[in-house]
Chains A and B, each alone.
Chain A
């Protein structure tokens, strides 16, 4: 993954993408125990426009350097990477507030645990609920911060519903 991030950092330095943040299962692994995943989700901002059309320079840049496109992924140094533009205000905020880290000596940015939780709640697939439960059990969430994010993005009712469904009797 170190080599993968080096390619992505170079792509950023070359002006193909703006800022980026790691989300999904790899992002969650920053805070939790590692979980098996085959892909890396990279949320990206574009320097000019957030349009889907702006994805083509990314594919052109990477394929010209020998990286292979496969379905919705591009294989970079043995990791399938999916580049995703922010789909809504929550994801935009998650990107803006991502935390800087390093994998060995390579810089990277990872979404906060609270934003990953809020995005999982918004997405609401079975695996997202499972991830939220891992965050809760791991004790990594700042409750006030999470509450503010959920409130800002209209997710409080959904959070309450999640609690009734999965946490009832466990508190």
Chain B
């Protein structure tokens, strides 16, 4: 594994740990933002066109 890739993976791991350590109420707010983004993506015309094309 290259040094660059190792640093990227380490940075991702640190970010996950930081997020996991947040108070539950803060994580719930992030969940709500993620849910809203997922809904936007699910109803996007691009997503629907892609689903039609299989």
- How would you classify the secondary structure of chain A's contact residues: helix, strand, loop or mixed? loop
* Distance, CA A110 to CA B25, complexed state (A): 13
Query: What range describes how many residues of B lie at the interface?
Result: 10 to 19
Known A-B contacts A33-B19, A34-B30; A101 and B24 likewise in contact (beta carbons under 8 Å): yes
If over half of B's interface residues share one DSSP class (helix, strand or loop), that class is named, otherwise mixed; here it is helix
Chain B residue contacts of A2, Cβ below 8 A: 25, 28
- Measured CB to CB, the residues of B under 8 A from A are 13, 15-17, 19-20, 24-25, 27-28, 30-32, 34-35, 37-39
A residues at B contact (CB < 8 Å): 1-2, 26, 29-38, 79, 101-104, 110, 137-138, 140
* Known contacts A29-B28, A104-B25, A137-B16, then 14 further A-B pairs from the complex at CB < 8 Å, ordered by chain A residue: A1-B31, A1-B32, A29-B24, A32-B20, A33-B15, A34-B27, A34-B30, A36-B35, A36-B38, A101-B24, A102-B24, A102-B25, A137-B13, A138-B16
